[in-house]
Structure 1
């Protein structure tokens, strides 16, 4: 882990606190109210979602040892059982079709291979199961979308690999997921998505 990554991971909660308090908490709460049964959360970070789960069992995967350590307080705050393990979204250590719900919040922007991450999320989700995502995405706008493209290389270095310009909705559809519900926030920069794995 680079010095920049350690800095970003250590101060992530402080950096995000204004947005979380004013905008994101409501979105996260609404999104996670749809979680059911056995839940997998990828890129669980400092565990900001943990106190919001209700009536489920959660397995959380997080690659950063520093963030896993920071999440322990929120594991204790949670009202449901939560197990946090090391791992990456692109290579999940689970058999196929084992989770009723797969959750990712502000994760697909950062993983090195978003396509493989979505394929893995789909693989471990049961047929008819749900993917719940909250992400920032590339704007479908001739000026602002290109600005995101231009800023992304510098932004990735500053924010531990975060891409400003990933087209998450197109990716989900290209992987055969059915989009059930979407909710936009802050001028469509952020979007909450409920998607279903087809029971073929």
Structure 2
């Protein structure tokens, strides 16, 4: 007669941040002697279905690309000739990744009437990864400045201005965040010299 089993499942790290891979480990415990063999199928709600082969009664798989939120996991051990099937469960929590924002201007300094390009870059903070999207608000002080909202594509937003007056202009770039990434901001200054 086949021996009953219990399947235990763990997720590491948990919680994870957006863009971080999660390792799922299943341990099949026999209610008797021997070591179970065969496979365990992990079904992740909102994620992939993965299969691992038992070695010494355990197996691990790696899940990546999970969206922010709660992902229930069901692990099904299919059994073998000596051991009965069993099921285990856990939950993976994925949170938004922190970011940093930097902003630079070119050319700096510029001359009155010259086109200036402001470039803001959003970078996920490890262990988060991926390409932030959403919007960036550039707040530029001084004559000819103002507040300007631009799209973020692959983590980068740009703004071109020809309206800045002579002087030093404080620049703040504010990333508003998206479903996977938290907001952040960066600062810079732009100097405009009189035209020759």
Q: TM-score range by the shorter chain?
A: under 0.3
The TM-score normalised by the length of structure 2 is: 0.18
- The structure that is strand-richer by fraction is 2
The TM-score normalised by the length of structure 1 is: 0.18
